[in-house]
């Protein structure tokens, strides 16, 4: 029996947990509770407690590798990835690495994400073109999620510029959305990152890439609106999801409390976020 691919994993988790919520694991030791505060050796303990509290509420987890690497905590990330696979095997894990390089270097980054860490998908910067993405697609059961229309203010510097030599002069992010739906997505492994702070752009990306999963950060602490996000990107027909959104929230859940009840508070915040997203699609 062939391995379940990344999109199938997302759909399975959505069905199991009735959720579009992804919890971002961005551990900042300076914000840890109690005696853990300021102690990077507790990164695993903190994240594992969040996983324990939320694992039945999410469609995915998204650890951001920089928060681990900055504290030489890559071994803790390896341990955390293994823990998630053990206690929540139905929940896919997206390694937020935003890698972007070509040739043999991309091959090594792919091995890092999928072999060393065992991620189910990885975020990538597609600026260097398809040959910077292709090495990740050699892992047929894995996903590659391409930065498309990001929520940071500087994203417009490049993403919103028009391509004069392409038919219709699309904006860069529109051209990428088309590629992700068509020529680049030969095995159905690609997704796109679109920020929740740009609901009109989410809708435009969905029009151009009707079946590609959208990873949408920015709901919660960054101010993105859950209802507008789901309306813009989520699509279903006849009881079947045709355009999936994976809506990420990190700080609003991780740091819902700075006390000993942080895990319980994280669960409450995740429950509220999940319910808001479900109400928006209902």
Q: List the domain range (segments joined by +) for residue 140.
A: 6-281
Which member of 62, 98, 142, 227 is catalytic?
Answer: 98
Q: Looking at the domain assignment, is residue 1 inside a domain? A: no
The pTM score is 0.95
pLDDT higher than 70, residue 2: no
Q: Looking at the domain assignment, is residue 138 inside a domain? A: yes
pLDDT higher than 70, residue 137: yes
215-227: buried (b, 16+ CB within 10 Å) or exposed (e) per residue? Answer: bbbbbbebebbbe
The count of domains in the chain is 1
Active site annotation includes 62: no
Read off the CATH number of the domain in which 101 is found: 3.20.20.70
Check residue 220 and give its pLDDT: 61
pLDDT higher than 80, residue 222: no
pLDDT higher than 80, residue 224: no
Per-residue pLDDT tens digits for 72-121: 999 999 999 999 999 999 999 999 999 999 989 999 999 999 999 999 99
H-helix segments, the chain: 6-17, 43-54, 65-69, 74-87, 103-111, 156-159, 172-181, 199-208, 226-233, 251-254, 262-281
Q: Looking at the domain assignment, is residue 196 inside a domain? A: yes
């Amino acid at each position: 029996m062939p391995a379940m691919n990344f999109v199938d994993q997302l759909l399975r988790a959505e069905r199991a947990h009735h959720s579009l919520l992804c919890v971002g694991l961005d551990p900042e030791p300076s914000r840890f509770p109690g005696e853990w505060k300021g102690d990077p050796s507790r990164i695993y303990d903190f994240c594992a407690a969040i996983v324990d509290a939320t694992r039945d509420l999410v469609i995915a987890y998204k650890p951001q590798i920089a928060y681990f690497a900055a504290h030489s905590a890559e071994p803790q990330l390896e341990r955390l990835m293994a823990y998630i696979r053990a206690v929540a095997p139905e929940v896919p894990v997206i390694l937020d690495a935003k890698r972007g390089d070509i040739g043999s270097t991309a091959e090594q980054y792919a091995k890092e994400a999928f072999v060393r860490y065992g991620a189910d998908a990885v975020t990538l910067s597609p600026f260097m073109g398809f040959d910077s993405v292709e090495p990740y697609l050699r892992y047929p059961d894995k996903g590659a999620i391409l930065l498309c229309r990001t929520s940071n203010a500087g994203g417009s510097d490049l993403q919103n510029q028009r391509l004069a030599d392409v038919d219709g002069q699309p904006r860069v992010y529109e051209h990428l959305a088309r590629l992700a739906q068509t020529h680049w997505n030969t095995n159905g492994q690609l997704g796109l990152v679109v920020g929740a702070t740009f609901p009109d752009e989410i809708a435009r990306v969905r029009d151009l890439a009707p079946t590609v999963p959208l990873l949408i950060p920015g709901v919660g602490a960054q101010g993105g609106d859950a209802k507008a996000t789901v309306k813009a990107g989520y699509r279903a027909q006849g009881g079947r999801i045709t355009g999936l959104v994976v809506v990420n929230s990190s700080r609003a859940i991780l740091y819902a409390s700075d006390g000993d009840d942080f895990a319980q508070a994280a669960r409450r915040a995740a429950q509220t976020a999940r319910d808001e997203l479900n109400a928006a699609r209902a």
